[in-house]
Structure 1
């Protein structure tokens, strides 16, 4: 065994001690003997940025020989895949060590951290506050310091929301259907993979490794930050407005120009309805395949299947047309600005089991409110990142969202790194 492999074995034992002491329910399908066996036979590839790093994977990704449960144990014929998902194969080729599967909201169908099978995922910063979802276990495994890297998914905010809830970095990569191979999908129109890290620099390191990129030098010209004039400021609570004022101050102090951009086109229809129409129809189609395999869906899946059947093809195609329209409008905005800044959520991180919130003189579903500002960029497919703002409420540094045009991730990392360094000084 090489010296590096021996060092990794010692690190693994230390991590396993952390897991055994944790009460967060962040990890499931963890096999200590499997990890140790993998390390003993590990061949360290040519040095990469993430060679020897331990990574947690959301339990929607297939890993050869390990149960894919999707956060539930419904069904008689559980899946033990013969082939790993594309993202897992890629990570292992880069020398990363998959440590465990992470807990999640069942079948990725919610943005809170409840799970009836494995137990709710507990927010390590404040046990009374939701850890967010659906990639809750991945976010918490990073927030607790069990690992430095974790992989999740994001269909309407399932990476950015738990990142914001747990005070970590959450990056929804730009749309890439390759990453959906070997993954239990909700909607191939909306699904993205997501990355959780403790720092922006770590996030960039993983992204560059996945894309075989070398770090680009910072541009001599400071990127321009666009702030929406509509939709993203409708119904924000006072704390979120104060957080955004704080973020503007930080960005201006760094030297970025902040300009207003016109997003009033979003007020003419409901982006969440567009997203739900597409996603519900898509998942109702995949639910049929799951039933054929003997994976009997829960009542929630059955309910969504019925909802999907009630959506006409005309309504579905109309939603796809609106998706393309929204994407075109944001692409045009990116010809005027480099980065768009919004809150991750219009509200402070909610309490555990909070189902509704009184907002704008009416009672609203908490999940609908939580995804209000994130689901749009699943429609457009643009890279979007949640980073801690440095403005605290309920013991948590609430998240701001940074969005860039496709293939401009280096600008996103430039701004996010600068922001992170400024608030840490």
Structure 2
């Protein structure tokens, strides 16, 4: 059986082609066969998933109304609490943690009759962007196992790309949904701040953290968002974007970027224009230097969240996570408050941009394709940048601004790695992202998806 969308699975249930238990067993077999190479799961909840499949089948047979995700197998990043299922936060310190209650997002999706396949591997405590985890092993990119899948939701993106789960829930502090989505060639959405509740998620930063879905396509994303928010998104799956005002930044998002990535981004802009979107040059120079401000917020709050673990167990953290947490000890209260004030300013200026000039902003998701596991620096001509700074440069501003941001594939490099387009909209306007993303997908991505499913999932047309 090749990859099936949420709707195709539910049509199959209606037509009695297969049952939720059949599909659950299918995914568990795929995980057992393919995940030893990818290492995208820390914990596979085999018995739990079979039990949930039987429960939703019995509910349907009893004639009870079933939920929006009836019989759909999902996975969760391992910093999201799951009652009765080990939740390690990607760490050795919490290796034996079994939560007593579900995170709010898990509770929502179980109420919609989804099935939990397990917990995805991740960067330790979500404090990095490679998912090179020393405690559970690195996650491998399904396009090429020598490469990182991005992070920190790397296991979630790899599992979706390889069709080891229908969809996954990740978290995003500075790009941790969008970076792996871009690196693995799937769709990832960081919704508006607090659109999806974060209760039961192990924080990096309560100011910047978001929860959102990673899916194989835009239609599945719309359905997942309906289940997560009880709002209607499927009606916005429209191919008509004539007149949509799309902002194209004249600075920052076209700087220190690999030539091939930039060209694929330009091609995507041209495709949007051919679909009828109106491209408008916009000045975003007001964000220059923003990264240090966001780092001051993230590091300060992460240091507070980890204060007890740092006292007892700092040596057990991987080096990059330890360095970030140690940096929190030198950030002053004044620097933290100044960073929060800068955040307010960025919000106002982006708010004005979306009110007065554009409906959607289009940028590259990340300035580079995935790097080999273990690589920690990037070279742009004579300019050297840490991999972390490069990968988060185009994404983390939108965590600070609290607006929704979507990563959608936009091509493949000559090295055979995916590149992605980032679409951003005003606060609460996920509908615009779904409309624009779907129109672009339907026009441009049929061949990409076929290639992805051959390479990553092993499916051949």
Give the alignment's TM-score, normalised by structure 2.
Answer: 0.86
Aligned length: 421
The Cα shift of 1:321 comes to 0.5
User: Which is worse superposed, 239-248 or 33-42?
Assistant: 33-42
- Counterpart in 1 of 2:54? 40
Q: In 2, are the aligned partners of 1:290 and 1:296 still within 8 Å (CA)?
A: no
Query: Which whole-Å CA distance do the structure 2 matches of 1:178 and 1:386 have between them?
Result: 18
Structure 1: which 5+ residue stretches go unaligned?
none
The Cα shift of 1:185 comes to 0.3
Q: Relative to 1, partners in 2 of residues 1:255 and 1:381: Cα closer, same or farther, differing over 3 Å?
A: same
The Cα shift of 1:46 comes to 2.5
Secondary structure of the residue that 2:406 maps to in structure 1?
A: strand
Over aligned residues, Cα RMSD in angstroms? 2.3
Q: Relative to 1, partners in 2 of residues 1:245 and 1:292: Cα closer, same or farther, differing over 3 Å?
A: closer
Give the alignment's TM-score, normalised by structure 1.
Answer: 0.93
Q: 2:433 pairs with 383, 391, 412, which one?
A: 412
- Counterpart in 1 of 2:186? 168
Say whether residues 1:242 and 2:263 are aligned partners.
yes
Say whether residues 1:327 and 2:339 are aligned partners.
no
Structure 2: which 5+ residue stretches go unaligned?
1-12, 447-461
Q: How does 1:235-384 map to 2 (within 5 A)?
A: 235-267=256-288, 270-290=289-309, 298=317, 300=319, 301-335=321-355, 336-384=357-405
Say whether residues 1:140 and 2:154 are aligned partners.
no
Q: 2:223 pairs with 192, 205, 218, which one?
A: 205
The Cα shift of 1:73 comes to 2.1
Q: Relative to 1, partners in 2 of residues 1:282 and 1:221: Cα closer, same or farther, differing over 3 Å?
A: same
Query: Which whole-Å CA distance do the structure 2 matches of 1:236 and 1:80 have between them?
Result: 42
The Cα shift of 1:392 comes to 3.5
Q: 2:147 pairs with 123, 126, 129, which one?
A: 129
Query: Which whole-Å CA distance do the structure 1 matches of 2:411 and 2:377 have between them?
Result: 27
Secondary structure of the residue that 2:260 maps to in structure 1?
A: helix
**1:138-171, CA deviations, whole angstroms, 9 ceiling, x for partnerless residues?**
0011000112210101001111010111111011
Q: In 2, are the aligned partners of 1:246 and 1:391 still within 8 Å (CA)?
A: no
- Counterpart in 1 of 2:109? 91
Q: Relative to 1, partners in 2 of residues 1:284 and 1:357: Cα closer, same or farther, differing over 3 Å?
A: same
Deviant stretches of 4+, over 6 Å: 2-6, 292-296
Query: Which whole-Å CA distance do the structure 2 matches of 1:288 and 1:248 have between them?
Result: 45
Q: 2:253 pairs with 228, 232, 243, which one?
A: 232
- Counterpart in 2 of 1:400? 421
